[in-house]
Structure 1
Amino acid sequence: MQGAYTLTVLLTVCWILGLAQSPVSKPNIVFILADDLGYGDLGCYGQEKIKTPNIDRLAKEGMQFMQFYAGTTVCAPSRSSLLTGQHTGHTFIRGNKEIETEGQYPLADSVQTFAQLLQQGGYRTGAFGKWGLGMVGTSGAPDKKGFDRFYGYNCQRQSHRYYPTHLWDNDRKVMLEGNGLVHKTTYAPKLIQQRALAFMEENRETPFFLFMPTVLPHAELQGPDDEYYRWYGGQFEERPHNGQDYGVGASPGGYASVNDPRATFAAMVSRLDAYVGEVLDKLDELGLAENTMVIFSSDNGPHKEGGADPDFFNSGGGFRGYKRDLYEGGIRVPFIVRWPGQVTSGSRTDFQGAFWDIMPTLVAVAGLKQPNYTDGLSFLPALQGRDGEQSQHPYLYWEFHEGGGKQAVRSGKWKAVRLAVQSGQPITELYDLESDPKESVDVAAKYPNIVSRLEAYMDRSHQESAVFPFQR
């Protein structure tokens, strides 16, 4: 009798230990990427004129990165850096090279994305929004780069229109009735949002990676005449307002007029925030929130096109520069991660990271084999509060091929920006971000040895590309 009792106890202990040692199910991953949203456009990063309660909630329930950077300062190369885990001196796409009549230069067959690694590791993968890295039928199409499902704008030029003539559902062209040069009936971001929410519902029983590269709040400044627009309608101008004065409902189809661009921009950010709220609510509804990592960021700094006024909104968060600059305002972006049970609520980190760190981090989160090559490092230790185990970058590197060619390096507190690279007579500026985060005082003449060291990092980091040459 005693032997039977002992056997029962042993079996019970083994069962408990087995539970303790059984692998935790792979977390779902949701990555929401805004388009041209500035570091300072969110309440949790200091925005005072636009309300972003849902993204602020994400920060309160997760970790806010204060010194995180985009891949570069415009769309396509920044997204290439994100997906390939390589900075712009190495990543395949390094500029917005257009293909007529639709699409951009495609990622090559040989390019590996982290979506492919997640897909190979058992994740269902979906991208909903803006692609810009290869037209349907090319080597860079979403279905060739790790996504089971794509719905949205394949082409960046098309994504400048919130009432486009068509979207893409994988390789099927979906015409949007009622949209054209005059009439604007079907608001594309709403359709894309609905498909993204449905993707989570359809894949609730399996680990999934949901990539949401939204077009909000990229110019053009346009959107529905709805509660978001009307809420801001009279706040930003001294003149009295009514529907006729600032154009609400004045345009065919009932969309918000650009006659009040500040109200339109604010409404676009608030609508983006509401979409984030819908994602969080859907995760709660499906019972998936506790096993889902949610990431929010932006592809580069704030734009000035289409009547946008980043200075009025302090969209750059007080930093110098805008989209197309390699100063902090052009490349430092909001970055927030919520992961219940793994990331401490309401925490912040000064880890200096960038888009090319996301590949090794998400692969580590999923428990998968690391990529063949990456310029990044996993910041999983920082997420989990294991700061003593967190590796640090000796430097971060960016390049930008427009405007005469620009390069930048950050190493610790030092930031070097090299301008007019393609002129043959480049100029290097140096800033101490610790004492001068606004990059207002060039100290290159005072610290020539530091300038030389950071220029050496630039030279070491750039590998010439036949497709995107960067002559110096």
Structure 2
Amino acid sequence: MKSKIAVAVFIIIFSFSCKERAKSIEVKKQKPNVVFFLVDDLGYSDLSCYGSDFYQTPNIDKLAASGIKFINGYAACTVCSPTRASIMTGKYPATIKCTDWIEGHKVPNAKLKIPEWTMYMDTTEYTMAESFKDAGYITGHFGKWHLGEKNAYWPENNGFTVNKGGWAKGAPNKNKKMLSNGYFSPYGNPRLKDGIEGEYLTERLTKEACSFIEKNKKTPFFLNFWFYNVHKPIQAKKEKIEKYKVLVDDNKHQKNPVYAAMVEHMDDAVGKVMQQLKENGLLDNTIIIFTSDNGGLVGQGENKITNNYPLKGGKGQIYEGGVRVPNIIISPGVTKANTVNETPIISLDYYPTLLELAEVDVPVKVKKKLEGESLVDLMTTNKELERKAIYWHYPHYHKQGATPYSAIRKGDWKLIHTYENDIFELYNLKKDIGEKNNLVISFLDKKEELQLDLDNWLVKVNAQMPILNPNHQK
């Protein structure tokens, strides 16, 4: 009798363990979700976890504490559209010839004539969204796109099943004739229905993103949450502005209460999306990326917006304040909490990284053309990346003061070549993060080494170059 009972118990336990093992295998086979947060114009120092003592970002701070925070992370360009195209294609802006924001600044009488460039992301590119869609993912884009005037270049024609808010414009419409009111409804956005009067754009996009998660919680999804915040117009809800007005301290580098409120709106949105993932039991199977498309906009004269201290410069400029940005990655089972990494990374690395993390296959010819490098080995074993340098090329003028330039970072060294007057600047970023001491004369050998590397890269990608302008007016 006892032996029969023992056999019965064994069968029950064995059966249960088999079911649990099968369930475990099933869970392991589930493809990870992806949530990609891209903030517009967010500076390196605009988060508490990156040094701000004025802006309050508890939700993003929690992200940084939960994964890897890269402190030498870079945007592919100092302005928005090229970086966005770089993220979606895994290529340098110079390679795809999308080297300025769409529509760019017109300077017909400048010393240099800017070259022709592509004012859209070419639809022949096999985008990151298309790769995930073809792998069975539901893909959704929420927020800013800014990669082409015609709707053929908009998210729904570049791999996204759902598009809420992504179209030609790079900032919320604020136009009385169009009855649009910037960050407050009505929006004048053909890919986002107007909400009730006074609805705040970021809160609306957050609701749309959370609804997408709820609807697709049982299927793998790829979610782009690409904020319009904190791009101009600088607008926020009154109660948040009032909160920061009383916190302004003239002794601090950052002191714009409206911009601070915009940063908090963005942080609130991140928190709500993360809460939505948690409530649906998805946090342990969702890859999170958080970054910015370029450095913070400093502004001019009395219209100061943010301050990128201790970095020099801001949006539109090749100094660190214009191109170094926050970068946070969380990948359950891969990244470790509270990790800080000093390796220089750049926007085009996300595409190959996400492909590897999610085990998404793409055609060999597509993979070979990706210029970014997967960060997976770096994140798991701290293995050095194969590449030795990263590059920038901006053959344009920008109203924040930039003139055409190219640049390279190799190790701790950074070389900038501005073309108007053929000037070189050389900095050791480990010793001089504020780029105060131009070492080009003291380290001529290093300057020559980096210049040769940069020039060879420009030839390799067939970079379009500025030329002397016959219409230049002194």
Same fold (TM over 0.5): yes
Is this contact kept in 2: 1:127–1:147, CA < 8 A? yes
Aligned-pair CA distance for 1:356: 0.7
Unaligned regions of 5+ residues in structure 1, if any? Answer: 179-184, 239-259
> Is the deviation greater in 398-407 or in 270-279?
398-407
RMSD: 3.0
Alignment match, 1:251 = none
1:342 aligns with 2:342: no
Equivalent residue runs for 1:28-107 within 5 Å: 28-98=33-103, 105-107=119-121
* Equivalent position to 1:381, from 358, 377, 389: 377
Partners of 1:342 and 1:155 lie apart in 2 by 36
Aligned-pair CA distance for 1:352: 1.3
Q: Secondary structure at 2:151's aligned position in 1?
A: coil
Aligned-pair CA distance for 1:427: 1.2
Alignment match, 2:434 = 438
Alignment match, 2:415 = 416
Alignment match, 2:244 = 232
**Percent of pairs identical after alignment?**
29
Distance 1:463 1:143, change over 3 A: farther
Partners of 1:317 and 1:116 lie apart in 2 by 38
Distance 1:463 1:120, change over 3 A: farther
Q: Look up the equivalent residue of 1:354 and give its one-letter code.
A: I
Aligned-pair CA distance for 1:221: 1.2
Deviations 1:110-159 (A, max 9, x none): 11211111111111111101000024532x22112111111114133443
Q: Look up the equivalent residue of 2:304 and give its one-letter code.
A: D
* Equivalent position to 2:146, from 123, 126, 132: 132
Distance 1:175 1:135, change over 3 A: farther
* Equivalent position to 1:398, from 368, 392, 397: 392
Alignment match, 2:183 = 162
1:298 aligns with 2:292: yes
Q: Secondary structure at 1:134's aligned position in 2?
A: coil
Distance 1:11 1:199, change over 3 A: closer
Q: Look up the equivalent residue of 1:61 and give its one-letter code.
A: S
Partners of 1:444 and 1:19 lie apart in 2 by 62
Unaligned regions of 5+ residues in structure 2, if any? Answer: 105-117, 174-181, 398-402, 468-474
Aligned-pair CA distance for 1:49: 1.1
Distance 1:177 1:272, change over 3 A: closer
Aligned-pair CA distance for 1:449: 2.3
Alignment match, 1:355 = 347
Alignment match, 1:120 = 134
Is this contact kept in 2: 1:319–1:439, CA < 8 A? yes
Aligned-pair CA distance for 1:84: 0.9
Partners of 1:414 and 1:358 lie apart in 2 by 23
Aligned-pair CA distance for 1:175: 4.8
Partners of 2:344 and 2:275 lie apart in 1 by 31
Partners of 1:296 and 1:87 lie apart in 2 by 20
Equivalent residue runs for 1:250-261 within 5 Å: none
Aligned-pair CA distance for 1:234: 2.2
* Equivalent position to 2:193, from 171, 174, 180: 174
Is this contact kept in 2: 1:397–1:407, CA < 8 A? yes
Partners of 2:165 and 2:19 lie apart in 1 by 48
Alignment match, 1:264 = 258
Q: Look up the equivalent residue of 1:174 and give its one-letter code.
A: K
Distance 1:14 1:457, change over 3 A: farther
Alignment match, 2:304 = 309
